[in-house]
Structure 1
Amino acid sequence: MELVYLRTFVESLEAGSFSKAADALCVTQSAVSRRIKFLEDQYGYPLLDRSGPVLVATEAGKIVLDKARQLLSIEDELLKGLKGIGKRDGLSFCCTPGFGTAFLPRVVRELLQTSSEMHNMQFFLDMPDLVLAGVQDGRFDIGLLEHCEQFDFSELQVLQLPDDDVLFVSSPALDIPSGEVTVAQLGQHTLFSRRAECCSTKFLSFNLKKIGLDETAFPSRVVYDDLHQIIASTVDGLGIAFTARSLVAEQIAAGKLRSHQVQGFMHARRRSLVFRPCFVSNPLADLLIQEVQRCFE
């Protein structure tokens, strides 16, 4: 369990609303709402009573609130103790799974060839809002996230990278024409996707809502928590996927997959590299940023 979810829950109750909690945490209101839903799904109980003017903990919520405060207090004590022995050496980088799958192996390979300090580097993968939260609270030095949300980057340094192109793909065996298609055409096939809180799945939900539809447009859906398995199943003609072009560029070029767009969909997501203003750059960080930028040249 990521403590950022519990911190969001506590902040929501103390602030009294999702909007005020979002302001305090420097994230969007939808990000707060998703984190609370994740907790409620995780524990199997409603944790907040949303019916009144301010948020109130349910009976289950009171139990979670008490334990969450204890855990967060322990974490705060732990961080204070670590600060007392000085900052760790090295560099930590966190990115979303899409970038991690498509580009991180290349970045690591190039760094291994150009730096002798790779043993001081740590790599992590997480969802966009958790990448951002990790950079904001100092757990990560540098973060890279693809996002359609309007995140609050006001306290961070931001390098905007080329947009992430997200599209539907299918095997030629399914006989779906390349280019622009309708959701009705795609909805006849099984959709392979990741969990509801994952980047591409949230982006698909955002786009469906944008054109007046919802997840029922794809009545047959299989959830995999493995991007490689999603791509393999799609190449095998077992269904379709909504994924970043960078993840399937090789298969599209080889004719193993066709790409599709839907009218009214936003197919481009922003891609941002973020770090705190107080972060002191070093040669390893400079090399990392250069290699990330080279991925899009």
Structure 2
Amino acid sequence: MQTEYLKTLVVLGQVGSFSKAATDLSITQSAVSQRIKYLEDHYGCQLVDRSGKLLLLTEAGRLVVQRAEQILLLEAQLANDLKLRGEKTRLAICCTPTFGVGFLPQVMEKFMSRKADNVDLRFMFHSLDRAVKELQENEFDLAVIEHCEAMEVPGFDIVELPSDQLVFVSAPSLGLPAGEVELERLFHCCLIARKPDCTSRRLLDLNLARCGRSVDDFKAVVVVDDLRLALETVLSGGGVSFLSRSIAARELESGQLLAHVVAGFEQSRRRSVVVKSERRQDAAVVEFLDCIDAGFPLGSGC
């Protein structure tokens, strides 16, 4: 039996319709129907309940899908192992800018000292949405991302890292008190903001919306795509910014910047490693996760 038939049943169970399964698999609806019929004849039982508007797997169908997912994973691992025989391991990684600026140099230093001769490495910085999209399109094998909501990416394992803490930061020349500050005091300053697709910006917008306010209430808003440029602008007294404490750790410790919190604001977001399930046990991936673990105790995978 061709494993494409099992994959067809898996996809059908996910989308609940012959037409949607056909679209996802880039085959005809008739081909989907024929493959399911072949599987039902082969196993001698009904796998799909066709009585309702939404197609549902029968108890037997769910059992076949459970085993099919294991078979498909083994097939993918086998194909990957054969491809990598005698070759350097390809490892394509992306991360969101906060992790990239705050922690990546230390992680990469450890990783390259162990695997420089054995790994063909590609690395990119992307926003959360683009990172997840390109993971699903097989552009990357793993990503380190910050995100506000719990997430699930089919075909990938999620490994939790310690959460990322965000604060408002400003130069002492602005005269804002360190620690807790009234939101109205911040509104008198220029906001050095990230793009709307950045999760720090999303969290800021969410916090402001809960107060019935928006970024438009700041004296002015300057959108900066580069984290380091945002930090330099704040250091020069150009305004306040809501960003990861890790990005400004050195400047906060030296007193070049002050940290501010607003009562009632949510100031933490999740940080996770998202890795292809089929590559979770690859030596290069395990090594990279170990290098991250040296700086962050890895949490549970899901």
TM-score, normalising length from structure 1? Answer: 0.67
Q: How does 1:20-169 map to 2 (within 5 A)?
A: 89-117=89-117, 120-153=120-153, 155-169=155-169
* 1:240 pairs with 2:240: yes
Match for residue 249 of structure 2? 249
AA of the residue aligned to 1:237: G
Q: Which residue identity is paired with 2:174?
A: L
Q: Distance in 2 between matches of 1:154 and 1:209?
A: 31
The residue type equivalent to 1:230 in the other structure is A
Q: How far 1:154 moved relative to its partner?
A: 5.2
CA apart distance, 1:219: 3.5
**Identity percentage of aligned residues:** 30
The one-letter amino acid paired with 1:259 is A
Question: Following the alignment from structure 2 to structure 1, what is the Cα–Cα distance between the partners of residues 192 and 104?
Answer: 23
Tell me: CA distance 1:200–1:294, structure 2 relative to 1, closer, same or farther (3 Å): same
Aligned residues: 217
Q: CA deviation at 1:118?
A: 6.4
In structure 2, distance between residues paired with 1:155 and 1:281? 14
Query: Do the aligned residues in 1 keep the contact of 2:127 with 2:198 (CA within 8 Å)?
Result: yes
Residue 86 of structure 1 deviates from its aligned partner by 5.3
1:152 offset after TM fit, Å? 2.8
Describe the SS at the equivalent of 2:260. strand
Corresponding residue for 1:12?
A: none
Q: What secondary structure sits across from 1:247 in the alignment? A: coil
Please identify, of 109-118 and 89-98, the stretch whose mean Cα deviation from structure 2 is larger: 109-118
Q: Which moved more, 1:278-287 or 1:139-148?
A: 278-287
For 2:59, the equivalent position in structure 1 comes to none
Matched, 1:292 2:288: no
Q: Match for residue 225 of structure 2?
A: 225
Runs of 5+ consecutive residues of structure 1 not aligned to the other structure: 1-14, 25-82
TM-score scaled to structure 2, two decimals? 0.66
Amino acid at match of 1:212: G
SS at the partner of 1:165? strand
